[in-house]
Every structure is written in C-alpha cells, then in structure tokens.
Amino acid sequence: MKTAIATVSISGTLEEKLVAVARAGFLGVEIFENDLITFPGSPADIRAMLADLGLSCPLFQPFRDFEGMPSELRERALQRAARKFSVMRELGTDLVLVCSNCSPLALGDRARIIDDFGALGELAAKHGVRIGYEALAWGRHVNDHREAWSIVRDVDHPNVGLILDSFHSLARGIPSASIGDVRANKLFFVQVADAPRFDMDLLQWSRHFRTMPGQGDLALEEWAEAIWRTGYDGWWSLEIFNDRFRAASGQLVARDGARSLIALRDTVARRPRPAVPASIAPPVAPSHVSFIEFAVSEDEAEQLRSLMSALGFCLTGRHKRKAVERWAQGAINLIVNTEPEGFAHSFDIMHGGSVCAIGLVVADVAAVLDRATALGIDLFRQAVAPDEHAMPSLRGVGGSLIYLLSPQENDQIWRDEFIGIDRPEEQDCARLMRVDHIAYTMHYEEFLSWVLFFVAQFGMEKTPLVEISDPLGLVQSQAVETADRAVRFTLNGSNAQQTLSSRFVQNYFGAGAQHIAFATDDIVAAARAADAAGLERLPIPQNYYDDLIARFALPDELVETMAAYHILYDRDDRGEYFQFYSRAFGKRVFFEVVERRGYDGYGAANASIRLAAQARYKAMAT
C-alpha cells in the first residue's frame, strides 16, 4: 500500500510538514497549491527537499473551475493549466487534481465538458503530465463520482483519469458498489478521509470536520474494499481538512494518519472474502480490566486509602519487596504504588498522585504487541526481578501504561508477587463488582488521536460524540468500548480554558485518568454503606430531583432515596442507569459508582449536573 498525505492535513510551515510526513513513514505527499505559493523558494527547491526526505510528490492540487466554462473563458482556463503544468514539472509531479467546477458561470453541457477535458488531456500530454478529475460533493454540475467517471470514460484520453475521494462520495451517500464500474487503469489517485456524521452543509463539513479513517462515522471499509476489488494498486492518500489538526502537533497528526491507513487496510482484510490479504496481527480486544495502579507519595497514599476504604475496598496484599499494596473488592484490584523509584515514582513527581497504569487481560499478548508495533504505538518495558512477571505494556493516555496480562498471568500474579493479607470476616462484603469504565481527560487537540488508538489497536467501537455543558464551557465526550462492553473508556476534552476538563489537563500537566467508575448491582446499598463509612460525596441539588420526577414519572419513594444519597438517574429505551460520585482525591481523580439495568450509556444527561456541582467546589476554594 503506497501511502501519502496532503500538506493541508498538517500544521506548520511546508518544511515542518514535510519532515513530519517523512518521519511518520509516508512515501508520498500531495502538495497543496497554497503551500507552494506561501513557500519562499522555487518549486525545484521543494523538489530537492522532498528528495532529501525520501518523499515523492504523487499529486499537485487543486486546479479549480476548469470544465464547462463559457467560450470566452475557455482559452484562459487552458492557459492557466499550461502554467500549472510547468510548475508541476519543476516540482517533480506528473498528476494534477482537477476538481469539479463550482463557478456560477459553469455550464453543465456534457458535450462541452468532454470536449474541454479532451483539450486538457492533449495539453497535458504535451507537458508530460496527467489530469485526475474529482467530483466535489458541492460541484455545480458534477458532484457525484459516477458522473465524473462517466465523463472520464467518455473523454477516453490516456492522460485523463478519475480521482476518488471518500469524503465526497460517502458524505452524499453514494453507494460504494458503484466503484465497481471504474476501470483500475483509469483510476489515477485515491484520497481518503473520514468524518463524524453531522447533518450540515457539505462544504463546511468537508473543510472543517474531516478526520483520519477510524475517527469518524463514514462507511470507509466498504468504500476501500470496492477500490481494492477494481485491482487499483496506486496511492492511498489522506486529505484531511480539520480545524483541530491545523492547531495540533504536525508529528502527532502525521503519525496518526499513517496508523489510520494501516488500520483501515487491516479492517478490509478482515472482512468476509477479503479483497486484500491481512499483513499485520489481528486486533485483540481486552476481556477485562485486571487492575488500576495509582502512583502516590506516602502522604497522598493515606488519603487514597481512606477513600478506598470508604468505598468498601480492603487491603488484601502487599508486594513481596516493593512498597506496593493491593486493594480489592469484587473483581476490582486497585494498586497503590509508593515506591521511591521507578516508573510510578516519576509519574507521581510529574503529575501528583494519580493513575499511572492499568492492566488489561488479553487472550493473546504477543498479537497485541505485534499489532502495536505495526501501528507505531510505543511499547514500554522496564527491568524486572527474576521472580517477577515481565508484563509488557503500551504507552497509553498521557504516557500512562497499559500493562498486558494473559488470563493465566492474571490468575497467578497476585499469588506470585504479593503476600496475602487475611481480612476480617465483617469486611468481606463486596458491594462493587468490577470496573465499569475509566474516564480519560485530554487536550482537545489530542482527542481524536486517542479515539484512533483504542479503535485501531483493540478494535474497540465508538459511541456517538456528545457535547456536555460545564458551567465554564463545552466538553466533548465519546466512549470507546469492546463489543461485549466489558472494557469501556470515555474520552473527554474541551476547547474552553476553564472547564473542569481543561483545568485537569493544566494542573495535571497533561492527559490522564480523571475518574474511575465501578459497577454495583445495588446502588442504594453501595451509597448507604459509603455514607456510613464517611465517604465524601458530591452533593446534588434538590432541583435536579424535582426535575427527575417531571421527566420520568418515577415513584416518589425512589426519588427520595436517590436524593438522600445523591444518586443521579438516567433512562433510555434499553434500561435505567444510577450513579453517584465521590469528591476528588488530591484534587485530581474521583470515583463514580454506577448501576446499570440494561442501560448502555454513561448518563450524558447528568454530566452537566455533576460538572456544575464540581464547579461549586472550585468556586468555594477560590
């Protein structure tokens, strides 16, 4: 798979863009005219830079408003093209993208359009270049690749071919089966972009919200599969217009782009009767969260211990040699690491007491590592003693670790590395059963990067994006989940400076786990016990409960109980959801307890209530 990316997809100066593209492992780069025009050197200088970086330039674009112009403008359009062709030769590319005409002057006369492309093809042949015709979704007369293909077919000139761009076709809902009509030798170039499903103006949607494959909702697999089935073996190039990417690190976006194309190809390779053979290890979904590890100083550890105790966790083991404790309840293991050196300690110094690692159980650790390597995901290994499990790990959100455990290791590790502590009978009353989800908070600009990480590496599914109102701005939130919902993460990021999300990222010096939700099957019992144990809770206003009665027609008694214990409630067509929150530990991490009765979401309707309650604490503190 020959992969390229358009300069428009990446932030920075042209030089910075090219370096980022080359480092990410692309073979080619589409040069956007604007990047050429703003560059203080000749096209030949750009060509030399590309050569130094080992990149080729398979496409120059765009050339606009060409076909079907009234007679008096036709000659000028051809002259304009001739100038561009000279530039292209200097730049070292032989293909230009001509996008369908958007000018109000354009005529839709098909015979004229075919004639124009015939003339352009002749001119191109003289200059030793080729033309690729792309139907813009908002083209004045041609806005469907089926129409563009029929024109290219009828022009029948060796220097005139078709360019397919997933956005233009999928945004308009054009069936990908129609790609089967395109002849591979006439398909000159393929551009790939995904996008979240928005019901909005096509041009605005395309110019601001395109994403890497896997970060959006378009049916890219069918589309890419249809292209492979034609026998096309040319370039696959990302053309991503996205406001966030323009503001993000070029290196990050380029690396994600490369990752997204590898993952897209692999998804197609894993469909029935694959159009391409698989070339990397398959995605292996984690079966559950084995543990969550906190890196804390001894001072903060006391606070954390009392919070965990109040939630019903018991100290069940100590590491044989290290200052590491295991606190457990149900199938949940919380690790408290106060070691004065090592990864956890560095993490604590950097961020303050917080989640430095999680452990995921996976059926095939080697496959996870192989896939991570293929996707350019960083692995982490640290020195271990001979009697310790050498758990490999991936670098996850904010540099925290995702340890990988086989099911066997998950059974053995506590016995092998920890000295068990017998707990008194009366403490043995698990109210919380398992980790329901881990909520990560991150910079707005890196949000899509982590969506892609979980989707590409573990084959997790995305829920629709939701916007949550914090009293000080909007927060964007999206969950990634395994197909069986046994492992769930929510990702949160905000563009507004003072939202709780943004303050977390500022105070924490980066992205991290902001809250952890545990599942119970009796929320009232869990809340009552937590109250009795002195858990500091997030208070919810009575107005919320009055509104609940109005919205859901719930029995008074239930609402009174929920109000007494500050339990939030949500319902959808599948079931009911109950949740309550602890206050934050170290002003960073807080806990949530949830009970799901058939409900699959995260109580998005309640998130603004929770954020408002948390904002009150901030107001009181200042």
Annotated binding residue at 425? no
**Residue 43 is inside which H or E element, if any?**
helix 43-53
Q: Is the peptide bond preceding residue 62 cis, with omega within 30 degrees of 0?
A: yes
> For residues 116 and 239, which CB has a smaller minimum distance to ligand DHB in the complex?
239
- Long-range (24+ apart) CB contacts under 8 A made by 43-48 are 43/87, 43/90, 43/91, 44/90, 44/91, 46/14, 46/91, 47/90, 47/91, 47/92
- In degrees, rounded to 5, the angle at the alpha carbon of residue 101 between the alpha carbons of residues 98 and 105 is 145
DSSP one-letter code for 177 = G
> For residues 62 and 352, which CB has a smaller minimum distance to ligand DHB in the complex?
62
Among positions 20, 97, 308, 394, the unique one binding ligand DHB when judged by CB under 6 A: 97
Residue nearest to ligand DHB (CB): 62
Q: Which residues contact 272 (CB under 8 A, 6 or more apart)?
A: none
Q: Does 30 bind Mg ion (CB under 5 A)?
A: no
For the CB of residue 30, give the shortest distance to ligand DHB in the complex, in Å.
Answer: 8
Part of the chain binding Mg ion (CB under 5 A), chosen from 141-149, 161-169, 288-296, 391-399: 161-169
Q: Does 135 bind ligand DHB (CB under 6 A)?
A: no
Selection from Mg ion, ligand DHB, none that 206 binds (CB < 5 to 8 A by kind) is ligand DHB
Q: Does 194 bind ligand DHB (CB under 6 A)?
A: no
CA nearest neighbour of 195 among 234, 243, 163: 243
Count of residues that interact with ligand DHB, criterion CB under 6 A? 10
Under 8 Å between Cβ of 80 and 120: no
Selection from ligand DHB, Mg ion, none that 62 binds (CB < 5 to 8 A by kind) is ligand DHB
> For residues 165 and 300, which CB has a smaller minimum distance to ligand DHB in the complex?
165
> For residues 7 and 499, which CB has a smaller minimum distance to ligand DHB in the complex?
7
Q: Does 35 bind ligand DHB (CB under 6 A)?
A: no
Annotated binding residue at 515? yes
The CA distances from residue 373 to 34, 356, 378, 537, 620, in Å, are: 35, 22, 7, 43, 47
Distance CA 112, CA 25 (A): 42
Q: Does 213 bind ligand DHB (CB under 6 A)?
A: no
Distance CA 298, CA 156 (A): 76
For the CB of residue 103, give the shortest distance to ligand DHB in the complex, in Å.
Answer: 12
Q: Which residues contact 173 (CB under 8 A, 6 or more apart)?
A: none
Residue nearest to Mg ion (CB): 165
Between residue 305 and residue 334, which ones bind ligand DHB under the rule CB under 6 A?
A: none
| Both tokens assigned to 142 | 């041609």
Q: Which residues contact 37 (CB under 8 A, 6 or more apart)?
A: none
Between residue 334 and residue 353, which ones bind ligand DHB under the rule CB under 6 A?
A: none
Selection from ligand DHB, Mg ion, none that 530 binds (CB < 5 to 8 A by kind) is none
In a 10 Å sphere around its CB, with 0-12 CB exposed, 13-18 middle and 19+ buried, how is residue 424 labelled? exposed
Among positions 206, 215, 492, 502, the unique one binding ligand DHB when judged by CB under 6 A: 206
Sheet arrangement for strand 354-361: 379-380, 393-395, 401-405, 354-361, 288-295, 332-337, 324-329, 314-319, 418-420
For the CB of residue 561, give the shortest distance to ligand DHB in the complex, in Å.
Answer: 55
Count of residues that interact with Mg ion, criterion CB under 5 A? 3
Under 8 Å between Cβ of 199 and 219: no
Q: Does 239 bind ligand DHB (CB under 6 A)?
A: yes
Dihedral sign of CA atoms 245, 248, 253, 254 in order? positive
| Both tokens assigned to 118 | 């015939």
Q: Does 567 bind ligand DHB (CB under 6 A)?
A: no
Annotated binding residue at 409? no
Length of the chain equals: 622
Annotated binding residue at 157? no
DSSP one-letter code for 397 = G
The CA distances from residue 148 to 106, 118, 206, 226, in Å, are: 15, 14, 19, 17
Binding map of Mg ion across residues 332-371, x = CB under 5 A, - = no contact: ----------------------------------------
| Both tokens assigned to 427 | 């403490």
Residue 386 CB neighbours (<10 A) = 5
Among positions 69, 99, 402, 607, the unique one binding ligand DHB when judged by CB under 6 A: 99
Binding map of Mg ion across residues 177-196, x = CB under 5 A, - = no contact: --------------x-----
For the CB of residue 95, give the shortest distance to ligand DHB in the complex, in Å.
Answer: 12
Distance CA 30, CA 266 (A): 24
> For residues 76 and 207, which CB has a smaller minimum distance to Mg ion in the complex?
207
Selection from Mg ion, ligand DHB, none that 61 binds (CB < 5 to 8 A by kind) is ligand DHB
State residue 9 phi and psi, 5-degree precision: -75, -15
Per DSSP, helices labelled H in 93-162 are 110-127, 145-155
> For residues 169 and 249, which CB has a smaller minimum distance to Mg ion in the complex?
169
For the CB of residue 191, give the shortest distance to Mg ion in the complex, in Å.
Answer: 4
DSSP one-letter code for 371 = H
For the CB of residue 64, give the shortest distance to Mg ion in the complex, in Å.
Answer: 12
Q: Does 61 bind ligand DHB (CB under 6 A)?
A: yes
> For residues 97 and 268, which CB has a smaller minimum distance to ligand DHB in the complex?
97
For the CB of residue 43, give the shortest distance to ligand DHB in the complex, in Å.
Answer: 19
Among positions 35, 116, 165, 481, the unique one binding ligand DHB when judged by CB under 6 A: 165
For β-strands 512-520 and 28-32, DSSP reports them as unpaired
For the CB of residue 134, give the shortest distance to Mg ion in the complex, in Å.
Answer: 5
Q: Does 218 bind ligand DHB (CB under 6 A)?
A: no
Annotated binding residue at 536? no
Annotated binding residue at 134? yes
Distance CA 161, CA 132 (A): 5
Q: For helices 250-269 and 220-229, give the axis angle rounded to 10 degrees.
A: 70
> For residues 246 and 318, which CB has a smaller minimum distance to Mg ion in the complex?
246
Q: Does 446 bind ligand DHB (CB under 6 A)?
A: no
Selection from Mg ion, ligand DHB, none that 348 binds (CB < 5 to 8 A by kind) is none
CA nearest neighbour of 169 among 179, 159, 180: 179
Annotated binding residue at 436? no
> For residues 117 and 590, which CB has a smaller minimum distance to Mg ion in the complex?
117
For the CB of residue 206, give the shortest distance to Mg ion in the complex, in Å.
Answer: 8
Residue ranges for the known binding site are 134, 165, 191, 239, 437, 515, 592
Residue ranges for the known binding site for a divalent metal cation are 134, 165, 191, 239
| Site residues for Mg ion per CB under 5 A | 165, 191, 239
Residue ranges for the known binding site for Mg(2+) are 437, 515, 592
| Site residues for ligand DHB per CB under 6 A | 61-62, 97, 99, 134, 136, 165, 206-207, 239
